[in-house]
Amino acid sequence: MTPTVGYKGQGSATLAWPHLHVTKGTLSSAERPSSPGEPASSPSVAMATFASGNALRQASAWRGSRGPMLLLLGGLVVCVTVAWLVLATGDSEITETLVRKGELIAQQPRVYDVPCSEDYDNYKRYPGCTPLKCGRAVTDAVVTREEAQMLRRLAERGLSLAGSDGGASILDLHSGALSMGKQFVNIYRYFGDQIGEVFTSEDFQLYSNVRARIQAVVAETFGLDPALMYLTKPTFFSRINSTGAQTQHDEYWHPHIDKVTYGSFDYTSLLYLSDYGSDFTGGRFIFMDPSGNRTVEPRAGRVSFFSSGSENLHRVEQVTWGTRFAITVSFTCDPAHAIADPTLP
């Protein structure tokens, strides 16, 4: 039987370490250190010699086991480092980081031109809005970190009412869609008048104000008439953490083209409400170009925007730790797909 064998094993191990049995300071002459000037009968000396003899033996035992211990410790350090690296760097091969979290794009947006894809030949053209030049841009100068924090609090309050069972939850102030468990509810219907205790008219004013500034910078950067581009749906707050997906709605990381996924989008903008690296790890935005992956690291208050066609195939790296908040605010050139800013019902 296993326990008996184990017990026997322990017994023989005890025998291999005789000093563990010397509990009363009774040392054999062979073990007793010779100390000429000292009366061997003195109990305190006997205790001291016993203690030091014991310490010596323990020290030599420690020296004996030091090798394996150091090996174990080394292994532990390697494991922790690898785990940290995986958490910190996420799941992606990155060819180029377009904008790091620690950089501040405080003046003009940093712009990267990308040739427009051929898909545009198949879409109806809206002069003054349909992209003539395509690309991507990032700015930290349009939304302050304080505003981002206020919007993040708004998102936290709304999403605290429910949230997905999986890692990705959304709140769409326009349609009222809010993730709940494995589906969505309409917050305005589900919570009725109580929603007035969660959101204030100032929250909605801030959203409109920020949306208008984003629209202006998108128009200026792409050379558009801001009056000929319109907010379109869906426009939503997202909250992502590392909880495993429970439904397809939680699988935010798939590569996609916004114009294909959402239909009406011509320009996508993303306003980040938390910081890559300190609020969460993983979760970088990745443009998947034929020549390699290019990433934008989220930073609270950072606006990243791009033409929504297949020249900007992208995905979000899986979040490995913490919580990532963002808002997707997008614009269409088609007045038929225009929506008004969200308002409190």
Ligand X SMILES: O=C(O)CCC(=O)C(=O)O
Instruction: Give residues in contact with Fe ion (CB under 5 A).
Output: 258
Q: Under the criterion CB under 6 A, does residue 287 sit at the interface with ligand X?
A: no
What is the spatial distance between Cα 207 and Cα 224, in angstroms, rounded to a whole number? 22
Chosen residue from 184, 328, 331, 342 binding ligand X by CB under 6 A: 328
Chosen residue from 316, 319, 329, 333 binding ligand X by CB under 6 A: 316
Kindly state the smallest distance separating residue 285's Cβ from ligand X, in Å.
4
Q: Which does 168 bind (CB under 5 to 8 A by kind): ligand X, Fe ion, none?
A: none
Kindly state the smallest distance separating residue 93's Cβ from ligand X, in Å.
18
Per CB under 6 A, contacts with ligand X among 244-283 are: 258, 270
Taking the CB of residue 46, how many other CB atoms lie within 10 A of it?
A: 17
Size of the site for ligand X (CB under 6 A): 8
Q: Decide the pairing of beta strands 314-316 and 285-289.
A: antiparallel
Distances 149 to 152, 185, 202, 206 between C-alpha atoms, Å: 5, 25, 14, 11
Kindly state the smallest distance separating residue 316's Cβ from ligand X, in Å.
5
- Per-position x/- string for 131-170, each x denoting binding to ligand X as judged by CB under 6 A, each - no binding: ----------------------------------------
Helix, strand, coil share (%) of the chain residues, nearest 5: 40, 25, 35
Per CB under 6 A, contacts with ligand X among 78-107 are: none
Distances 251 to 2, 15, 65, 152 between C-alpha atoms, Å: 47, 59, 49, 22
- Is 49 or 295 the residue whose CB approaches ligand X more closely? 295
Kindly state the smallest distance separating residue 192's Cβ from ligand X, in Å.
28
Residue 142: name the closest of 284, 308, 271, 285 by CA: 271
- Which are the contacts of 160, defined by CB distance < 8 A and separation ≥ 6? none
Query: What angle do helix axes 145-159 and 201-222 make, rounded to 10 degrees?
Result: 130
Instruction: Tokens for 254, please give them.
Output: 């798939």
What is the spatial distance between Cα 113 and Cα 116, in angstroms, rounded to a whole number? 9
Residue 283: name the closest of 267, 268, 300 by CA: 300
Q: Which does 316 bind (CB under 5 to 8 A by kind): Fe ion, ligand X, none?
A: ligand X
Kindly state the smallest distance separating residue 163's Cβ from ligand X, in Å.
17
Instruction: Tokens for 264, please give them.
Output: 């009406």
- Is 140 or 258 the residue whose CB approaches Fe ion more closely? 258
Chosen residue from 120, 285, 305, 325 binding ligand X by CB under 6 A: 285
Chosen residue from 238, 274, 281, 323 binding ligand X by CB under 6 A: 238
Question: Catalytic site residue 63?
Answer: no
- Chain residues in the site for ligand X (CB under 6 A): 238, 258, 270, 285, 314, 316, 326, 328
Q: Which residues are catalytic?
A: 324
